Amino acid sequence: MFDIPFLLVLVPGVCLVATVVTAALGPHILGPRSHWPVVVALVIAAAASGVLVVQVHHQALAQWGEGRPADPAAGYEKIVTLWQWASIDDAHYAHQGDRFRIEVALRADPLTAVMLLTVTSVALLVAVYSIGYMAGDPGYWRFFTYVSLFVFSMTMLVSVSNFVLLYVFWEAVGLCSYLLIGFWYQKPAAAAAGKKAFLVNRVGDFGFALAVFLIWTTFGTLNFHDTVDAAGHIIGGVLGQSGLARPEFWYAPGWTLSAICLLLMLGACGKSAQLPLHVWLPDAMEGPTPVSALIHAATMVTAGVYLVARCAPLFVASRDVPPIVAGIGAATALVAAIIALTQTDLKRILAYSTISQLGYMFLGLGAGTLAGVSAGMFHLVTHAFFKGLLFLAAGSVMHAMGGVIDLERFGGLRQRLPITHWTFLIGCLALAGFPLLSGFFSKDEILSAVYERGLDGRDAQWYYVLFWMGLATAGMTAFYTFRAYFRAFWGPERIPPEAGHHAHESPPVMTRPLVALAVFSAGLGAVLWLSGALEQFLEATPSLVFLATHPAPWVYNVVEGHGVVPVAGTLVALAGIGLAWLLYVRQPQWLAQTVRVLHALGLYQFSKGKMFFDEAYQALVVAPLAAFARTCARWDHALIDGLVDAVGALPSTLGRALRPLQPGIVPFYALAMVLATLVLLGAMLW
């Protein structure tokens, strides 16, 4: 009964139903109970996702048994075609000779199953948390409508089997992000932040669209999976089993594949807030904190990671693009970590931390090996839980402090908010990479994959440098995370006046999700790593199986783990935590001296000012465009409007000129008649 097609349609379907029900009944009928349809739907979706994971696992195992498969045909995928959206019979393409077709098809394979489970479970916990956080807000029902719409879009995004539909839901999640960032739209800062997010994403989406066009012209199809045309020929999908089995295409010289991959990366940069399109994510913190937790930490921003992971064979085959991807990831991670060192807004620190961790994921994906890809996905899963936890805990703090989230205005909240404190601590430890918590395992997997590539093979020196950058970033991550922790929870207790009577622990509806997330943050990593389940599971995805069975010839792939990387990682994390403890708890006067030195060097302002990215964009992009728009407006007003006004004024001018012909004087009219007779007479006689 719970077969895969049913589950695949159920997960997004139930969220869609919840959206419609909440939107229709929310305003008047449900009111403060608007959360019920959404929570019920998410429970069903999360349960269904869990069952789906189990089912896919069974099916994959049944297909090849234990052990590594020998050819990509053994990867497991199940396609469910719902209906055909578009079909143009005249479209011919030389490679395939078939018409252009878009089908609404969902796919079930391990990558999709992992993403679905992550998204729905985090969404469920965030939704439960929001019941408490958003209580009393006049837009309560609107919030839950948008959240379930978002979950629908995200689950469809990871389930579809077609580039066009992926683009559709890519835009849909961007829309939901805009709606939720600007949820309190009366606040000008929130509305502006929503617009900024949408516009910056638009730059990335432009690249993505170009990539889709190029894919169509290169491959002749837009499906991931293989399809069969009317005559029975198999049309290989871009990432399908027969499509991937075309040896002549891979590793061939040429710029097309590189262009496709770079454009896909551009799209991923926009959605996942990588350099240079990262500027929207810190501003997106204007939205409610559950939104930040769900969308801007756990799910939407991971859509870019999912895209690159899905198209991993393309990236690997294009030879030159993976180092670029890794470079972007590492640079982003480093830059974001530097900026986070000096911020005082707790949510902004967490936002830059998200950017940094996403950079880690791209660093892993950019290694160009199966190990790297599965490491990136592993980090995605663990990051979803501990970053979600951190954001929700920050929301709990903000709730208690009456809306204040500036670290300079409160402190020493250990005793007052015990559950929040302990869950926040667990999240910080996970983020910093403290041994045995989940973040430790996933971060070290990534660094191991990069280290392997840095040992030997093509671009080894580049990866070596990136490894050290990653390591430095890990240290900085630990430092700024615990800086925030110590400032918020240690030291003398300071409560800002806005707190009023709020300054107590949050209600259970908010703390229980925190606890659940803390449990996952703590234990998930160990469980998954020790059992190796995730990597084995992901390997069954057809495109990733390909990476395993057809590794790039220049990659020296060593599959055993390296001992040096976890040790280095642990040392660096402990050093960061220790330094933070020293400066913020033990010897605060050293902190003042350090800041003075950094200030003198100008580094402090550089970091505090977010490296002036926004100012640079304002000067280089926004100001010229605005000037251009103003010029166009003036042009339009003067010329086009002037032309239209002139045309409009023509009849009245003509009328005014002709008016003296009607003076109301009878002899004048008689004279006119005589003149007319004269003209007629002359015309007739001559």
Cα angle 445-449-455, degrees, rounded to a multiple of 5:
140
Q: Is 235 helix (H, G, I), strand (E, B) or coil?
A: strand
> Residue 651, interface with other proteins (CB under 8 A)?
no
- Residue placing its CB nearer to other proteins in the complex, 595 or 672: 672
CA 267 to each of CA 97, 120, 122, 212, 220: distance values in angstroms, whole numbers, following the listed order: 29, 24, 24, 11, 21
- Nearest distance from residue 668's CB to other proteins, in Å? 7
Residue with smaller CB distance to other proteins, 616 or 650: 650
Given candidates 84, 87, 593, 677, which one binds other proteins under the rule CB under 8 A? 677
Rounded distance between C-alpha atoms, residue 567 and residue 556, angstroms: 23
Closest separation in Å from C-beta 658 to other proteins: 9
Piece in contact with other proteins (CB under 8 A), picked from 1-9, 27-35, 535-543, 670-678: 670-678
Among 616, 621, 629, 681, binds other proteins (CB under 8 A): 681
Question: Of 527 and 671, which has the nearer Cβ to other proteins?
Answer: 671
The nearest distance, CB 179 to other proteins, in angstroms, is 56
Q: Which of 65, 136, 651, 667 binds other proteins (CB under 8 A)?
A: 667
Q: How many Cα atoms sit within 13 Å of 370 on the Cβ side? A: 25
Q: Which two tokens stand for residue 10?
A: 């159920």
Asked if 559 touches other proteins (CB under 8 A), the answer is no
Q: Rounded distance, CA 186 to CA 375, Å?
A: 42
Nearest to other proteins of 553, 660 (CB atom): 660
Residues in region 140-199 near other proteins by CB under 8 A: none
Residue written as tokens 């008016």?
659
Q: How far is the CB of 669 from other proteins (least distance, A)?
A: 9
Task: Rule CB under 8 A: choose which of 228, 647, 657, 685 binds other proteins.
Answer: 685
Report the nearest approach of other proteins to the CB of residue 141 (Å): 59
Give the contact letters, 605-644, x = binds to other proteins (CB under 8 A), - = no. ----------------------------------------
Residue 541 neighbours by CB under 8 Å, 6+ apart: 75, 76, 77, 109, 110, 111
Q: Which positions ≥6 away from 143 have C-beta within 8 Å?
A: 130, 134, 137, 180, 183, 288
Three-class DSSP labels, 51-116 = HHHHHHHHHHHHHHCCCCCCCHHHCCCEEEEEEEEEEECCCCCCCCCCCEEEEEEEEECHHHHHHH
**Which range in 318-326, 451-459, 583-591, 668-676 contacts other proteins by CB under 8 A?**
668-676
Closest C-alpha to 174, from 191, 144, 150, 208: 150
Q: Which is nearer to other proteins, 188 or 667 (CB)?
A: 667
CB within 8 A of 450, min separation 6: which ones? 326, 363, 364, 367, 372, 463, 466, 467, 470
Minimum separation from the CB atom of position 672 to other proteins (A): 10
The region of 113-121, 230-238, 540-548, 671-679 touching other proteins under the rule CB under 8 A is 671-679
- Which residue in this structure is represented by tokens 């890809």? 373
Q: Which is nearer to other proteins, 88 or 673 (CB)?
A: 673
Residue whose CB is less far from other proteins, 621 or 673: 673
- We find the least distance from the C-beta atom of residue 655 to other proteins, in angstroms, to be 9
DSSP 660: G
* Smallest distance, other proteins to C-beta of residue 653, A: 13
**Alpha-carbon distances, residue 519 vs 165, 207, 527 (angstroms):** 35, 39, 12
Nearer to other proteins, 253 or 664 (CB): 664
Q: What CA–CA distance (Å, rounded) separates 139 from 557?
A: 53
Stretch of 291-299, 383-391, 412-420, 665-673 lying at the interface with other proteins (CB under 8 A): 665-673
CA-wise closest residue to 127 among 522, 385, 417, 510:
510
Please give the residues from 27 up to 46 whose contact with other proteins meets the rule CB under 8 A.
none
Under rule CB under 8 A, residue 682 binds other proteins: yes
| 665 binds other proteins, rule: CB under 8 A | yes
| Number of residues forming the site for other proteins (CB under 8 A) | 20
Q: Toward other proteins, which CB reaches closer, 63 or 677?
A: 677
Which residues on neighbouring strands pair with residue 162, listed in sequence order?
A: 223
Give yes or no for a contact between 144 and 130, defined as CB atoms under 8 angstroms apart: yes
| CA–CA distance, 574 with 133 (Å, rounded to integer) | 34
Q: How far is the CB of 654 from other proteins (least distance, A)?
A: 13
Stretch that binds other proteins, among 55-63, 513-521, 574-582, 663-671 (CB under 8 A): 663-671
Closest CA to 310 of 74, 50, 75: 75
Instruction: Point out which residues pair with 107 in neighbouring strands.
Output: 79
* Shortest distance, position 682 Cβ to other proteins, whole Å: 5
Q: Per rule CB under 8 A, is residue 602 in the interface with other proteins? A: no
- Which residue number, 65 or 667, has a Cβ lying nearer to other proteins? 667
Note the maximum CA span of the chain: 120
- Within residues 573-592, the interface with other proteins by CB under 8 A covers none
Q: How far apart are CA 52 and CA 75, in angstroms?
A: 16
What is the number of H-type helices and E-type strands within the chain? Answer: 27, 4
Which one, 136 or 660, has the nearer CB to other proteins? 660
Question: According to the binding rule CB under 8 A, does residue 649 interact with other proteins?
Answer: no
* Candidate ranges 316-324, 342-350, 567-575, 655-663; the one touching other proteins (CB under 8 A): 655-663
Which of the 8 DSSP states describes residue 458?
T
Q: Which stretch binds other proteins (CB under 8 A): 12-20, 94-102, 619-627, 675-683?
A: 675-683
Interface stretch with other proteins, choices 78-86, 227-235, 440-448, 659-667 (CB under 8 A)? 659-667
Stretch near other proteins under the rule CB under 8 A, chosen from 76-84, 367-375, 433-441, 654-662: 654-662
584/588 Cα distance (integer angstroms): 5
Q: Read off the tokens for 385.
A: 């839980």
Could you say whether residue 671 binds other proteins (CB under 8 A)? yes
**Beta-bridge partners for 681:** none
> What single-letter amino acid sits at 404?
V
Q: Which is nearer to other proteins, 29 or 674 (CB)?
A: 674
Q: Where do we find the tokens 């290989």?
A: 236
Q: Which residues in this chain contact other proteins in the complex, by CB under 8 A?
A: 656, 659-660, 662-668, 670-671, 674-675, 677-678, 681-682, 685-686
